Amino acid sequence: MTRVSPLHAAALPLALVALAAFACTPPAEEAPEEVAAIEEEMPIEPEPAPSTATATLTTADGTEVGTATFTQENGQTTASFHLTSVAAPGTHGIHVHENGECTPPDFTSAGGHFNPAGVDHACPPTTPRHAGDFGNLEIAEDGSGHLDITTDLITVEDGPNSVVGKAVILHGGQDDCTTQPTGDAGARLACGVIESGGADGMNGMDHDDMEGMDDDGMEGMDDDGMDDE
């Protein structure tokens, strides 16, 4: 028969308690550090989504010769004209015109220069000038040309100065920056209607990435709900 002494019977439970306490303590101290590390990575500053509009310029026979992209961000709008295959090297006037209609062959359907402020024609950086005045760009021998201008005279977002629904016209001649109200830039070589959104699917990606879906959903619901009048 085995006889357990009172001393041993008391010591065994104490040892188990001590083991349990030792085993549990370290993980309990690590946990708060992990939470803190995760919280530091959480804040992602939401940048305001830039508003974009684009136009594809085509000649009277339907040949695509380039694009215009308008990007509004932080109160300024950058107009970026990217010509790729203009069959007339040299200096060409380029403007935003007031009507978003490009009817060949002369594109007079696009109307005059976009001029919401009712001021005289000029070329950047001179002010005042038509909101649609972008001066001239140089077409190289290979048919390419590029011009970027950032201005607060136009917007992409809704408003009196929005270029959405207007037209970009590339002229056959040079804008002299003084003749009123056209700059005497000659025939209208190419025309493109400015539409909201990016070129070639870029816009869809932007909207999905940003929080445009939330905005669209809310606006749609509000508009539908308020349609009482």
**What are the catalytic residues?**
95, 97, 113, 121, 130, 133, 171, 188
Which position has the token pair 């594109």? Answer: 107
Which parts of 133-211 fold into alpha helices (H)?
202-209
Which parts of this chain interact with Cu ion (CB under 5 A)?
95, 169
Measured in whole angstroms, how far is the alpha carbon of residue 146 from the centre of its chain? 19
Q: Measured in Å, how far apart are the chain's first and last C-alpha atoms? A: 100
Instruction: Decide: helix, strand or coil at residue 35.
Output: helix
Q: Does residue 121 touch Zn ion according to CB under 5 A?
A: yes
Q: Does residue 113 touch Zn ion according to CB under 5 A?
A: yes
133 binds, among Zn ion, Cu ion, none (CB under 5 to 8 A by kind): Zn ion
Instruction: Decide: helix, strand or coil at residue 207.
Output: helix
| Window of 1-9, 55-63, 117-125, 135-143 that interacts with Zn ion by CB under 5 A | 117-125
Residue whose CB is less far from Zn ion, 113 or 171: 113
How would you class 87 by CB atoms within 10 Å of its CB: exposed for 0-12, middle for 13-18, buried for 19 or more? exposed
Q: What count of residues does the chain have?
A: 229
- C-beta of 41: minimal distance to Zn ion in Å? 51
- C-beta of 221: minimal distance to Zn ion in Å? 41
Residue whose CB is less far from Cu ion, 69 or 92: 92
- C-beta of 125: minimal distance to Cu ion in Å? 18
- C-beta of 221: minimal distance to Cu ion in Å? 41
User: Interface residues for Zn ion in 125-154 (CB under 5 A)?
Assistant: 130, 133
169 binds, among Zn ion, Cu ion, none (CB under 5 to 8 A by kind): Cu ion
Phi and psi angles of residue 68, each rounded to the nearest 5 degrees, phi first: -125, 135
Residue whose CB is less far from Zn ion, 51 or 102: 102
CB atoms within 10 A of CB 9: 9
**The pair of three-digit structure tokens given for residue 53, joined into one six-digit string:** 């509009």
Question: CA angle at residue 157 from 152 to 158, to 5 degrees?
Answer: 110
98 binds, among Cu ion, Zn ion, none (CB under 5 to 8 A by kind): none
Residue whose CB is less far from Zn ion, 120 or 195: 120
Could you list the residues that contact Zn ion (CB under 5 A)? 113, 121, 130, 133
